Amino acid sequence: MSTISTLVLVVLISQGFIFSQQVPELVAEQGYADMILINGKIVTMDDWSIVPNTPGRIVEAMAIKGKRIMALGTNQQMRELAGPATRFVDVGGKAVIPGLIQTHYHLFGPAASRFGPQVGLVDPSIKVTVVAEATAEGTSKKVRDSVVNAIEAQNIPKGQWISVSLREGPDNRPSTNRTWLYRGLINRRTVQLDTAAPDHPVVVGARQAGIFNAAAIRAFKEVFPDWEESTMLERGRSSAARDGYAAVPELQGLTFAYWWRDEPVDKLAEALRLHGMTLQKLGMTTVSTRLLFPSIVDAYNKLNREGKMPHRLSYYIEAQRGSFFNLKATREFYKGTGAPWTNHRNGGEMLWMGGMSNEVWDSSQNHVCLGPDVPASPEIKDRERCPRPGTRPWEAVKAAVMNGWRPVGVHGTSSHGVRLYIQMLEDAMKEANLSVEHIRGLRTTMEHNTVLGTPDDVMAKIKEYGIILNVNTPYLDWTSVLIKDYGEVLRPYAMPVKTWINQGIRVTFEATGTDFWKPIHTLITREITNPLTEEKELMLPEQAIDRVTALKMTTTWASEYILAEDTLGTLEPGKYADFVVLEQDFFTIPVEEIPGMQVIMTGLAGEIVYDRDQLAGGN
């Protein structure tokens, strides 16, 4: 080799050595960062322990490459990953946390009511509002008179649907209307709607319960011929169809599966997309929900195919309720479909089906299921809602488990209700020869947990089967009403979150619709509002937890609920860059200010989708 050639080779080798020393290994592997957040208090929430006040690493800066987190560290360390096109976002010392995960939110309802009319989806019924009287009899008469008067005064044509919104009476305890409807004390015979409005389909609704008149039943059965058996399964009593009982599936199904059944899917998809964009402003990057109606499944999958999903969605099929299956169809649906649910890593990036649901089990509010755990008067015990073999909740979930499905979002409001759920699981295990390891792998959940308490037998099984408890803190208010009914013996059952966590049970919480901060405040103060007196009080204050643990319940631990712990929930290299920038420092502000927390920026898959203060306005 000539002297000149040797010199050139040495120069090239030395330049390559110098270049390799100047370019960090991450850049050599992945290329330069696309975006770097600097000057922040970036709280990774990557400590999975139950030790109080342990959020994990806190760093200054975070580098993002594509849709994922590239690295975290000091400002200087992250600047070394920057290239000519890297975008810097100075968050000005603000706290940055993982994107918030809403574990139990029926977002399709608000989407339809708020954005449906904007895209041409409307409720075509005539609206009548009735405020309940002090008795079921008086309320029935008032509903009948109001419908008759509306038909005459408005000259409502035959065949036109009429929707009656039944409001609580000013002197009645909360949920009185729902109890009357659920127990059949108000039904289509007591209201006499069949004779009062023989030519007008009428639905009376009080949030989660209602009734149809005969004309409404005839119209509904033209689309859903199995409705009579379906509602008997839903209610668990043979007179339900005769009463015209209409529960959540019917009240929502009128909109999504009846009135809008011939509407183009594009309209519903757009309403869902618009609502999803409002969630971005609140820091909600992932939503978990059951989907009752095929039209909603279709609409979300259309958004996903077109790359228009405004948030991630883990959904759970509830076909047996939304399509008004009879008992045979309920059992055969899960037997015939296999188990197509998946986790996030192996499912879709923005949309994945995480299992099935039959949301109602032991219901909520008045209709808890305490069974032998807490005695009460016959009248109070009569309104308890305890599932049993042959009812839809029992048969749907059992059939699903036996055929490999993961059940999620099932109400586990009370101690005996959860005990019965475990009994159903064990029946399914025995019949299908399923192992404990299999059931643990399903990672089934129990929702609300209002008066679950800590019965030894129930707690042991929850731990054995790895059941996640997903609490609903507004229901903690209701325990003061239940204590009045059942007595002080019930108080220790009132959502003892701290004890559950310390026992090694995974506990998460659902936001109140779109509000994460009021539930966190409740968890760390145990302050409730008594629905009977409207006064503040403390409910088992010894069960209060620290604010970091509460935040884990909707970030770190919530990722386990949605089967995404290796992709979402914490800020770690390799995970999706879903993050939230907060206006106030959640970790240091006074507790009383937490309900007023504001989000000023939201990142979803490495893109800034909301930027209130234009922090990303330039480099």
In this predicted structure, what is the pLDDT of residue 452? 98
For 48-85, what is each residue's pLDDT tens digit?
Answer: 999 999 999 999 999 999 999 999 999 999 999 999 99
In degrees, rounded to 5, the angle at the alpha carbon of residue 429 between the alpha carbons of residues 427 and 434 is: 170
Mean confidence (pLDDT) of the chain: 94
Judgement on whether residues 456 and 506 belong to the same structural domain of the protein: yes
Judgement on whether residues 65 and 94 belong to the same structural domain of the protein: yes
Number of domains in the chain: 5
Judgement on whether residues 513 and 403 belong to the same structural domain of the protein: yes
For 467-479, what is each residue's pLDDT tens digit?
Answer: 999 999 999 999 9
- Binning pLDDT at 50, 70 and 90, where does residue 22 land? low
Judgement on whether residues 431 and 371 belong to the same structural domain of the protein: yes
Q: What is the DSSP letter of 515?
A: B
User: Within a domain: residue 115?
Assistant: no
Looking at residue 367, which CATH number applies to its domain?
3.20.20.140
Judgement on whether residues 491 and 607 belong to the same structural domain of the protein: no
Residue the block writes with tokens 């059952």: 493
Tokens describing residue 221 = 């059965």
User: Within a domain: residue 106?
Assistant: no
In this predicted structure, what is the pLDDT of residue 15? 33
pLDDT at 545 over 80: yes
User: Within a domain: residue 113?
Assistant: no
Judgement on whether residues 487 and 347 belong to the same structural domain of the protein: no
Span 267-285, average pLDDT = 98
Strand-strand pairing, 202-206 and 162-167: parallel
User: Within a domain: residue 110?
Assistant: no
Span 14-43, average pLDDT = 78
User: Within a domain: residue 276?
Assistant: yes
pLDDT at 393 over 90: yes
Provide the residue range defining the domain that includes 284: 264-351
- Which residues make beta-bridge pairs with 314? 288, 352
pLDDT at 483 over 80: yes
**Does residue 238 or residue 243 have the better pLDDT?**
243
Q: Which range among 4-8, 362-366, 388-392 shows the weakest confidence by mean pLDDT? A: 4-8
Judgement on whether residues 5 and 138 belong to the same structural domain of the protein: no
Q: Which of 335, 351, 367 is the last residue of a domain?
A: 351
For 133-192, what is each residue's pLDDT tens digit?
Answer: 999 999 999 999 999 999 999 999 999 999 999 999 998 988 899 889 988 999 999 999
In this predicted structure, what is the pLDDT of residue 207? 81
Are the CB atoms for 181 and 210 separated by under 8 Å? yes
Instruction: Decide: residue 405, CB within 10 A, 0-12 exposed, 13-18 middle, 19+ buried.
Output: buried
User: Within a domain: residue 216?
Assistant: yes
In this predicted structure, what is the pLDDT of residue 400? 98
Judgement on whether residues 385 and 534 belong to the same structural domain of the protein: yes
Q: What is the largest CA-CA distance in the chain?
A: 111
Span 325-338, average pLDDT = 94
For 78-114, what is each residue's pLDDT tens digit?
Answer: 999 999 999 999 999 999 999 999 999 999 999 999 9
pLDDT at 9 over 50: no
- Binning pLDDT at 50, 70 and 90, where does residue 619 land? very low
- Which residues make beta-bridge pairs with 512? 515
Tokens describing residue 10 = 């040495």
In this predicted structure, what is the pLDDT of residue 8? 35
In this predicted structure, what is the pLDDT of residue 236? 79
For the beta carbon of residue 466, count every other beta carbon within 10 angstroms: 17
Judgement on whether residues 22 and 81 belong to the same structural domain of the protein: no
Judgement on whether residues 405 and 550 belong to the same structural domain of the protein: yes
Q: Which of 324, 351, 378 is the last residue of a domain?
A: 351
User: Within a domain: residue 107?
Assistant: no
Q: Which range among 319-333, 537-551, 605-619 shows the weakest confidence by mean pLDDT? A: 605-619
Judgement on whether residues 340 and 363 belong to the same structural domain of the protein: no
Judgement on whether residues 440 and 511 belong to the same structural domain of the protein: yes
Q: Which of 351, 386, 412 is the last residue of a domain?
A: 351
pLDDT at 11 over 50: no
- Binning pLDDT at 50, 70 and 90, where does residue 3 land? very low
- Long-range CB pairs of 144-153 (<8 Å, 24+ gap) are 144/191, 144/192, 144/193, 144/196, 147/193, 147/196, 147/197, 147/200, 147/202, 148/196, 148/197, 150/126, 151/197, 151/200
% of the chain surpassing 90 pLDDT: 89
Tokens describing residue 103 = 């574990």
Q: Which range among 11-20, 52-61, 534-543 shows the weakest confidence by mean pLDDT? A: 11-20
